[in-house]
């Protein structure tokens, strides 16, 4: 039961069945994790009834919680098998970190906005995710003290792939990140470290995310160009 007495387990099941599995998400680990995590706990209380809607929702500070399908698509692209050490860039409300924590052994998550990091850390602790570490910092430079990582997921759009994140991948590690020259449209990319100085890059499709601000990202929030095409996700 939620705090308002509403049982949303059915809404979670329907989300997994109709928004995820029906659209091609096949990872059993991702589907199970997203059916387990109570998404309504990671959105503003006034929007709890919309937590399982098929779209993003605002969480304050001009940030959003991503559409469930986009979360599932990105996490499936990480190809997690369980037991990994994962870095998330862009904690937001903490929802993606919670889903990751249902699969991975250790989750490190970075948020540049202190108010969001603090509320996410409190929320994740309350939900029992003791193996998630939240820190305030520049996500574009990663978490070098905790590297290397088996997987890195970036929940914001970068103008290019930050070199620091490439360098912090373990051998065989995967980085999933939106990359584009504007804030209106990015290409979701998967970068796999295949050697000490070699990475393989794949394009996974069009997305739209808030900008990734930092030393190896956007230096300030860019003004979107007029007439940009909409996102396909």
Look up residue 49 and give its two tokens: 């009834």
Cβ atoms within 10 A of the Cβ of 38, count? 16
> Helix-strand-coil percent breakdown of the chain, rounded to 5?
30, 30, 40
The C-alpha atoms of residue 45 and residue 193 are separated, in whole angstroms, by 40
Interatomic CA distance for residues 165 and 220, integer angstroms: 20
Please answer whether residues 209 and 156 qualify as being in contact, where contact means their C-beta atoms are separated by less than 8 angstroms: yes
Q: What tokens appear for 2 in the block?
A: 């939620």
Catalytic residue annotation: 66
CA distance 198 to 134: 30
Tokens describing residue 145: 């003290």
Backbone angles phi, psi at 150, to 5 degrees: -75, -25
Residue 232: count of CB within 10 angstroms of its CB: 9
Buried b (16+ CB within 10 A) or exposed e, 140-172: bbbbeeebbbbbbbbbbbbbebbebbbebbeee
49 DSSP 8-state letter? G
Report how far residue 120's alpha carbon sits from residue 63's, in angstroms, rounded to the nearest whole number. Answer: 13
């Amino acid at each position: 039961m939620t705090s308002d007495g509403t049982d949303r387990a059915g809404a979670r099941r329907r989300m997994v069945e109709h928004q995820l599995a029906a659209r091609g998400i096949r990872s059993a680990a991702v589907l199970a994790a997203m059916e387990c995590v109570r998404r309504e706990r990671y959105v503003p209380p006034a929007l709890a009834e919309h937590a399982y809607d098929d779209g993003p929702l605002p969480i304050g500070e001009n940030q959003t919680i991503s559409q469930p399908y986009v979360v599932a698509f990105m996490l499936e692209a990480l190809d997690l098998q369980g037991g990994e050490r994962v870095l998330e860039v862009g904690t937001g409300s903490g929802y993606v970190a919670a889903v990751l924590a249902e699969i991975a052994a250790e989750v490190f998550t970075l948020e540049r906005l202190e108010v969001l990091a603090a509320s996410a850390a409190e929320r994740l602790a309350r939900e029992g995710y003791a193996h998630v570490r939240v820190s305030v910092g520049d996500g574009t430079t990663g978490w070098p003290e905790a590297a290397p990582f088996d997987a890195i997921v970036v929940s914001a759009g970068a103008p290019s792939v930050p070199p620091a994140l490439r360098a912090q991948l373990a051998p065989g590690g995967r980085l999933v990140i939106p990359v584009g020259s504007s804030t209106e449209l990015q290409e979701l990319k998967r970068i796999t470290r295949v050697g000490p100085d070699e990475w393989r890059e794949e394009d996974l499709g069009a997305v739209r995310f808030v900008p990734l601000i930092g030393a190896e990202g956007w230096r300030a929030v860019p003004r979107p160009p007029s007439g940009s095409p909409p996102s396909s996700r």
